[in-house]
Amino acid sequence: MSDYSRDEMMTVAAARMLWDGCVCFVGIGLPSAACNLARLTHAPGLVLIYESGTIGTRPTVLPLSIGDGELAETAACVVPLPDIFSDYLQAGRVDVGFLGAAQIDRLGNLNSTVIGPYAKPKTRLPGAGGATEIAAHAKQVFIVMKASPRSFVAALDFQTSGGHFEGRGKSGARGGGPTVVVTDVGILKPQPGGELALVAVYPGIPVEGARAAIGWKLAVGPRLETIDAPTMHELATLRALEARTIAAHREPVRLPI
Amino acid sequence: MTEFLPLSEAIAKHVPDGASVALEGFTHLIPFAAGHELIRQGRQQLHLIRMTPDLIYDQLIGMGAARRLTFSWGGNPGVGSLHRLRDAVEQGWPRPLELDEHSHAGMAAGYRAGAARLPFGTLRGYIGTDLPKHNPNIRSVRCPYTGEELATVPALNPDVTILHAQRADRRGNVAIEGIVGAQREAGLAAKMLIVTVEEIVDELPPAMNGVLLPHFTVGVVSHCPGGAWPSYAQGRYSRDNDFYLRWDDIARDRGHFTEWMERHVRGTSDHRGFLESLRRVAA
């Protein structure tokens, strides 16, 4: 396949990391696209949990919000939101939690709260939502973020969710933290000590191209792989999913009067 | 005894200025009609509580009704920023807003504790985050059995919780279907629970495992069809995703926002009038 976007490469690369039967805590946007692509291709038994309380959901279109009716209608069950966080996530029943953020540092700590000081922010972002406890308790965390020096930073303005921060082992976090960061310029993984290093690149994007998009001096791992380009089947499935989604969201809703 | 009141009377009677108010509903069944009625009646100095402020609190904050916000995720779901919330936090417009900021798990624990009338909720949470440095309400306790340090949050006991549901019966039992969020906990945590409903029926079928708030927990039921729009009521009408996208433009500019609110909310007498004013625009 020659003609695909960087976003498509990134989504496909993230989807390939999920395995059949994996219990996956999903967020909206790219993670939701990657998880549903995996479910529609190599991992039909993937169990998707959205924080709104839907477990084992199989949406035919991607939701715009975390609580679209589509998610409830296609779920194996719908439970109260406090149960999701307490009895599923905190209890250690989630294999993979997907996260993105406005900023990430070299240890995989994330900021989705503020740019600038907390009390007088330059930009107020939405905040933690489920992220803090997903980062703590999912067995593994997959981070998906487009790379730029503004978002891959030497120091966070605020730490919303913990990666491989000092003291994680004794912090009460049940999960192991981030195991991979999928970007649009390549794939990073934590090395011993927790620092993220480049471990894989995509076709056509050289190591220097990836390094230029990261705001700290990015180390390169001991073995550098090249990820296969998306297959025809992966691209066709992803594009059909996105086309269905756009059509569904364009459908006008009648006012309830 | 559950009272049956028109929404305007329910708000006038039970929600004074300065009250702590939780309008819950996680994406689904957000009580927009009740939020608009708070704006029409000019409530001030409210302490707003909600996991996801959503458009409804963007509107209340932008109209200057709030002094404090307890929340855990303040964005327009799937779209981006809540511009009125941002403007209040970043610029203090139209007035400064105190933040009591949590994670979803923390707020859920606060509601659960509130519903059980316990003084605080506990969780293995707020790990690896700066939130406790900025919110003195997030503290910790040592487990008396294992010695483990656990995070705590104060119980959330709103003066008034307002929910929207599909149905109530004539005794005041309330049935909710679909995504329930933390509605049950927020409802039971409140000193006064007001529920707006799509429909009032003579009798509800046995709820079995569906969510039912029994009549002795429900203070007021108000009949308010369409009361969750632009969010949705499972089985009745869908989430108006297109409106959530359009809100980004409406709310971005102070003047445009105020004009929209004056025209469609303050310029109409009730929720039906609000929806009709939007239908006229669309026609």
Out of B128, B233, B239, the one facing A171 most closely (by C-beta) is B128
Q: How confident is the model at residue B225, as a pLDDT?
A: 97
pLDDT tens readout for residues B168-193: 999 999 999 999 999 999 999 999 99
Q: Which chain A residue's Cα is nearest to B29?
A: A67
Which residues 175-214 on chain B approach chain A with CB closer than 8 angstroms? 178-182, 184-185, 211
Residues of B in contact with A252 (CB under 8 A): 242
pLDDT confidence band for A196 (50 / 70 / 90)? very high
Cite the DSSP H helix spans in A88-179. 131-137
Q: Do B241 and A255 touch (CB under 8 A)?
A: no
Q: Is A51 a catalytic residue?
A: yes
Q: Which residue in B82, B107, B131 has the most chain A C-beta atoms within 10 A of its own C-beta, making it the best mutation to test that interface?
A: B131
**Residue A249 in this model has a pLDDT that exceeds 90:** no
What confidence tens digit (pLDDT) does each residue in B47-64 have? 999 999 999 999 999 999
Interface of B with A in 43-102 (CB under 8 A): 51-52, 71-75, 77-79, 81-82, 85-86, 89-90, 101-102
Residue A166 counted as domain residue: yes
> Is A255 a domain residue?
no
Q: Tell which A residues from 164 to 203 touch B, by Cβ distance under 8 Å.
A: 165, 168, 171-174
Residue A257 in domain: no
Judge whether A256 lies within some domain.
no
In sequence order, the β-bridge partners of residue A50 are: A26, A54
**A185 domain residue, yes or no:** yes
Q: Does A80 touch chain B (CB under 8 A)?
A: yes
CATH of residue A221: 3.40.1080.10
Q: Decide if pLDDT at A66 tops 70.
A: yes
Mean pLDDT value across residues B189-207? 94
Which pLDDT does position A29 carry in this prediction? 81
- B3 lies within 8 A of chain A by CB: no
**A59 pLDDT more than 90:** yes
- How confident is the model at residue A140, as a pLDDT? 98
Instruction: Count other C-beta atoms under 10 Å from residue B67's C-beta.
Output: 17
What are the phi and psi torsion angles at A199 (to 5°)? -115, -15
Q: How far is A121 from chain B (nearest CA, A)?
A: 6
Inter-chain touch B226–A257, beta carbons under 8 Å:
yes
State residue A219's pLDDT score. 97
For chain B, list the domains and their CATH numbers: 3-102+157-282 (3.40.1080.10), 117-154 (no CATH)
Q: Residue A251 pLDDT more than 90? A: no
Q: Is residue A101 part of a domain?
A: yes
**Position A30 in a domain:** yes
Q: What is the pLDDT of residues B71-114, one digit of tens each?
A: 999 999 989 999 999 999 999 999 999 999 999 999 999 999 99
What total number of domains does chain A contain?
1
pLDDT of residue A167: 95
Buried residues in A62-76 as b, exposed as e (16+ CB within 10 A): bbbbbbbbbbbbebe
User: B156-193 b/e with 16+ CB inside 10 Å = b?
Assistant: bbbbbbbbbbbbbbeebbbbbbbbbbbbbbbbbbbebb
Q: Higher model confidence: residue A118 or residue B210?
A: A118
> Residue B30: its chain A contacts at CB < 8 A?
none
pLDDT tops 70 at residue B137: yes
Among B75, B86, B127, the residue with its CB nearest the CB of A172 is B127
- The whole-number pLDDT of residue A2 equals 64
Q: Does position A254 have pLDDT exceeding 60, yes or no?
A: yes
Task: Closest CB to A252: pick one of B242, B272, B278.
Answer: B242
Give a yes or no: residue A84 inside a domain. yes
pLDDT tier for residue A67 given thresholds of 50, 70 and 90: confident
pLDDT at position A78: 95
Lowest mean pLDDT, pick from A21-35, B172-186, B221-235: A21-35
Locate tokens 């400064």: which residue? B96
- Give the separation between CA B153 and CA B139, rounded to whole angstroms: 7
pLDDT at A248 over 90: no
Distance CA A188, CA A147 (A): 11
Segment B252-261 shows an average pLDDT of 98
Q: What is the pTM of this model?
A: 0.97
Residue A66 lies in domain: 6-250
A253: nearest CB among B27, B52, B242: B242
Residues 251-280, chain B, touching A (beta carbon < 8 A): 272, 275-276, 278-279
Q: What is the pLDDT of residue B206?
A: 82
Cis upstream peptide for B230 (omega within 30°): yes
